[in-house]
Amino acid sequence: MLLRFSIFLLLLLPLVASIFYGGDSGSDSKSRERSYSGKRRHKHKSYVGGYYGDDNNRPPRPPPRPTCEEGWTFFQRPSGGWCMKVFPGTMDQFNSEAMCTAQGAVLSGLQNIAEVNWLVSSALTVIAPQTSGGVWIGIRRRPECIGSGQTATCTKTNTFYWTDNSTTGIEGMIFQQGEPNNGCNTSGSSYWPPGTLLRANRAYLCGKKARR
């Protein structure tokens, strides 16, 4: 009887241990699952510029591109974005400058040949049906060169200077044949397209910094 009881206990113990162990395992697993679920963090993904990523790792936004107001033309210069527009008018340079100021602008210089070509095209459109005429631009003759003629210190390349605080260099200074001769007693200057017959000023060129 004792032997039979001992065998029964030996057979029963693994089963009991299995029940208790299995129960603890299930409880512990669920507990761990609940604990993990409770501590779980959700990282939000965001879409920026064609890129999905974590909010903390998204690439920086590029700076806004400079733009011009409607009707103004944008040009990229070494000094930054620049906006220009040609306005019709037969006034002198002083009053042309005042009209540009009213637009939040100044009389503009010409940075390069691309701007010169654009000015010719735009000016002919603005002064139509006239087919020729001058355009006031932001350039002045140096005081020491007024009426001096061409000298060693008043040459073709250094007689004038830009006044708009944006234009640089001399590429945009394109003169008629034999100019500047510094023979006149005026400090201002306008641009006359090549082949122009009537040199009356019929327009003025305004310019201002592009906005962001």
pLDDT confidence tier of residue 131, bands split at 50, 70 and 90: confident
Instruction: Output 65 or 183, whichever has higher pLDDT.
Output: 65
Does residue 21 form part of some domain? no
On whether residue 117 sits in a domain, the answer given is yes
Q: How many domains does the chain have?
A: 1
% of residues, the chain, pLDDT over 90: 37
Is 184 inside a domain boundary? yes
Per-residue pLDDT reduced to its tens digit, 152-162: 888 888 888 99
CATH number of the domain bearing residue 115: 3.10.100.10
pTM above 0.75, yes or no: no
Confirm whether 192 is domain-assigned.
yes
204 domain residue, yes or no? yes
Structure tokens at 22: 């299995």
Convert the pLDDT of each residue in 174-210 to its tens digit. Answer: 876 666 665 555 555 655 554 544 567 889 999 999 9
The domain in which residue 147 lies consists of 73-209
